[in-house]
Amino acid sequence: MKNTTLKQRLKHKENTIGSWITIGHQVVIDVLSNAGFDWLCIDLEHTAVDFNELQVLIGFIQSYNMAALVRVYKNEEVVIKRALDSGADGIIVPMICSGQEAKQAVEYAKYPPVGKRGVGLNRAQRYGFGFDEYKKWVDESLVVIAQIEHIDGVNNIEEIIRTEGIDGVFIGPYDLSASLGIPGKYNEPIVIEALKKFEDACLAGNISMGYHVVEPDFNLVKDKQSAGYSFIAFSTDFLFMGKKAASEMKNKI
């Protein structure tokens, strides 16, 4: 029923590559399914994708044997519950700044006695015909990724990665630089220092760390893999389309 391999691959820090879905139409999934991604992440935080579209997109992603992740818009009980009840294989939770916030995200995602998630019957539970099976799957295979986007998260990274139920951490370099007062200036020494602190802690803590390589250039993916990142989001649906179109149109007469 579910993709059950991503959690284990994260545990063993195997390289996985996904991409970012911002366009709420299943044709995007149909097209990207030929590329060989391990997972796709639907972004609810910065897009117009709604929950009706979300459930359709999750089903299409899983039909191509890719894991369907959702970047929720907040570390909040209802949005996490709705994303998971729609059938997602996991969540990426933004702006995690402390171990307590990481623990909260896990509790919202998992049922008692581990967590506090309320019980509902939707696509994930096969509308009531598969709740026991789904609960077992949650215990064994649900993926929870903490997104680190603020210097407070970097400063508290050790307690975040020690949080039981967190399967990986995903750095947000733009917001990290913004939290340091220099948005978008990734090459400034203060940002480089913060990224190194994040990387050193994750490597020492033996947890899978992720990065969003925004530009559609696979050499940048290789660079991050060489630095120890194993959970790579490679560009976005609109950038793959827009960059290729712009590149080819340079040749117009």
Cis peptide before 173 (omega within 30 of 0): no
| Residues 67/6, Cβ–Cβ less than 8 Å | yes
Spatial separation of the C-alpha atoms in residues 9 and 82, rounded to whole Å: 25
The catalytic residue among 25, 46, 150, 212 is 46
Other beta carbons within 10 Å of 190: 13
User: Is 46 noted as a catalytic residue in this protein?
Assistant: yes
- Within its chain, how far is the Cα of 97 from the centroid? 16
Specify the DSSP class assigned to residue 114: T
Which residues does 65 contact at the CB level (< 8 Å), separation at least 6? 3
Which amino acid is residue 151, in one-letter code?
A: I
Cα 140 to Cα 7, 89, 110, 235, distances in angstroms: 8, 11, 11, 29
Question: Which residues carry out catalysis?
Answer: 46
